[in-house]
């Protein structure tokens, strides 16, 4: 979990563990990379974060990030998944 100067809590997330490992290698020694399934991420982790008022920190690169509300992230993920389903 991370925070900013305004005490906004967020959880950094990346689409692949390799991105996270690269970013965290030199930044935060206390952090661990934990790969989880997309289903677990969307249906468990994000819902817990929403209940606790925690934002997603998408693609933190060691310098900056995109903070996004859980509802928006879920909407975006579902939108992208719906486009993939059209081709399968």
Cβ within 8 Å of residue 5, ≥6 positions away: none
Domain span at residue 51 reads 2-85
pLDDT at 70: 94
pLDDT of residue 50: 94
| pLDDT, tens digit (0-9, with 9 covering 90-100), for 6-15 | 667 788 888 8
Say what the pLDDT of residue 60 is: 76
Whole-number pLDDT of residue 49: 92
Q: Residue 32: its pLDDT value, please?
A: 77
Local structure of 9: helix, strand or coil: strand
pLDDT at 2: 62
**pLDDT value, residue 65:** 79
pTM for the model stands at 0.76
Domain tally, the chain: 1
Low-confidence ranges of the chain (pLDDT < 50): none
Q: Cα dist. 82→1, 5, 15, 45, 51 in Å?
A: 29, 36, 17, 21, 25
Which candidate, 86, 47, 88, places its Cα nearest to that of 70?
Answer: 47
């Amino acid at each position: 979990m991370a925070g900013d100067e305004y005490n906004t809590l967020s959880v950094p997330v990346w689409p692949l563990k390799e991105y996270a490992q690269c970013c965290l290698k030199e930044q935060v020694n206390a952090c661990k990379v934990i790969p989880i399934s997309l289903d677990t991420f969307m249906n468990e982790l994000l819902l817990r974060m929403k209940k606790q008022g925690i934002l997603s920190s998408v693609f933190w690169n060691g310098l900056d990030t995109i903070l996004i509300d859980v509802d928006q992230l879920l909407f975006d993920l579902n939108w992208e998944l719906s486009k993939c389903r059209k081709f399968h």
